[in-house]
Amino acid sequence: MSFRTLRDVEVRGKRVVVREDLNVPLKDDAIADDTRIVAALETLRWLRGHSARTIVLSHLGRPDGKVVPRLSLRPVAAELGRRLGGDVAFAADCIGPVAEAAVAQLRDGQTLVLENVRFHPEEEENDPGFARSLASLGDFYVNDAFGTAHRAHASTEGIAHDLPAVAGFLMEAELSALAKLTRDPVQPFVCAIGGAKVKDKVGVFVNLLERVAAFCIGGGMANTFLAAGGIDVGTSLRDDDLAPARDILARAKAKNVPLHLPTDAVVSTSFDADDAAETVTLDKIGGRMILDIGPETAAAYADVLRGAKTIVFNGPMGVYEKPAYQNGTRVVGFAIAEATKNGATSVVGGGDAAAAAHEFGFADAMTHISTGGGATLEFLEGRTLPGIAALVSSAQSVRA
């Protein structure tokens, strides 16, 4: 996988169209979590410092091709201005006369944010004409939005066919970190994996079974594996179809890859009955639901993880948002942090795992926190991501 980066092009005085993933959660028109904004700053600061005329594209939410005022990127532009230490302009459209006029006013070292690309249905349709309209605004294209690299949209894939395309620093860091998990990882390689459903991560299991030394499984998917092994998990969240879990169990056994499952659990009578939470062995679940791995399981997983040299943490061990069910994720997270301190490479998958890492305070100890959710999963499955393929294709056309 060979592509060019910002270091390979001269951007001074050039109009540089940058696709960032600024899809941040908003509450009362204020930014509730600035993680993705912070992740974009390295590339945007570099462009400003190298006197580029930076034009930022992003989506926000799912407006379904319609103008939805509450999903405007205007507050994001204001926050970027505060973070970058200078005014960041905003244009109320991403194509057409409004966008063109705003770009024409840019001077070297200035930054402009264009309105939500998903206000146009052509964005998600990867319409060639829409992609050309976006491309007409710039001299170079930079894809720095790993979180959307699995989408073949106009601003993530189509535009790269109409402009010289390179990777931003966040994109480069994501791909470098994730490649260490799929290309000759240092052994032992352990995957701590949680989340709701096995069926959503079958591809991850199948691909990583060729590489890992062991899995430590929690979350709702652990319930599915337990049920597939004949354990009565009561009213716990699990997949209705147990066939994928049984297939993975068989594959793991055939490859002699340990697939560690809970031996105890924190259960309750309902999701909201925190005061009824109780730690039990698996034969005492009854009609209750599993909401976290138990302390015995967490300690066993921690022992496995402390001995690892490569670790991926993708999905919490339980309902970490509630204090009664945080212990499993916390213990596993700090065991990974300890292994990292001792020389292991650790990558936290996006979404809930990253949120938990920040909430519990072990994020800074990790080698890399991925900003991708679906993109991270598809990369770990071994799939070709359209946004990355477009960068590779652009690099090949330059060499040709």
Break the chain into its structural domains and give their ranges. Answer: 6-167+384-399, 175-369
In the predicted model, what is the mean pLDDT of the chain? 94
- Tokens 């993705």 — which residue? 36
pLDDT of residue 350: 67
Percent of all residues in the chain with a pLDDT value above 90, rounded to a whole number: 82
Determine which helix (DSSP H) or strand (DSSP E) holds 130, and give its type and residue range.
Answer: helix 128-135
pLDDT of residue 81: 94
Mean pLDDT of 131-137: 98
Stronger pLDDT, 138 or 198, i.e. the higher one: 138
Does the pLDDT at position 400 exceed 60? no
CATH superfamily of 6-167+384-399: Phosphoglycerate kinase, N-terminal domain (3.40.50.1260)
Which CATH code is given to the segment(s) 175-369?
3.40.50.1260
Which tens digit of pLDDT belongs to each residue from 244-265?
999 999 999 999 999 999 999 9
pLDDT of residue 96: 97
pTM of the model: 0.88
Does the pLDDT at position 147 exceed 80? yes
pLDDT of residue 305: 98
Report d(CA 240, CA 13) in Å as an integer: 57
Amino acid found at 39:
A
Which tens digit of pLDDT belongs to each residue from 39-48?
999 999 999 9
Phi, psi of 310, rounded to the nearest 5 degrees: -135, 135
pLDDT of residue 37: 93
5 secondary structure, DSSP code: B
Active site members: 36, 197, 351, 374
- Tokens 């908003």 — which residue? 26
Stronger pLDDT, 376 or 137, i.e. the higher one: 137
198 secondary structure, DSSP code: S
Mean pLDDT of 136-146: 97
